[in-house]
Amino acid sequence: PGGTRIVYERAFLMNLKNSPLARTPPNNVPLSLLRANGGGSPTGASAKPLSTLSLKSHQQKPARNSPPKYDEHQEQFDMDL
């Protein structure tokens, strides 16, 4: 009557942030669509190649050895009985 309710596990949702789709900006976005150049024309002085933008962002972040691991069997909510 009320439709189908979709329930996601906590571990699944936490691992979604590590997926390639969650990374911004994607590698295949044209420069004219990137907000880094201020939305101006792609031939303007502020336009930079995408490889330069992604290299700078990767150099500033500390490297992570592995993504955090979550216990799938951990209780999602605390229940008072």
Q: Provide DSSP, 25-78.
A: S-TT--GGG-GGGTT--TTSTT---HHHHHHHHHHHSPP-SSPPP--TTS-SS-
19 in a domain, yes or no? Answer: yes
Please write the tens of the pLDDT for every residue from 34-81. Answer: 766 554 444 444 445 555 555 554 455 555 566 666 666 666 666 676
21 in a domain, yes or no? Answer: yes
55 in a domain, yes or no? Answer: no
58 in a domain, yes or no? Answer: no
50 in a domain, yes or no? Answer: no
Residue 4 domain boundaries? 1-29
Indicate the helix (H) or strand (E) that contains 14.
Answer: helix 10-16
13 in a domain, yes or no? Answer: yes
The pTM score is 0.27
Q: How many structural domains are present in the chain?
A: 1
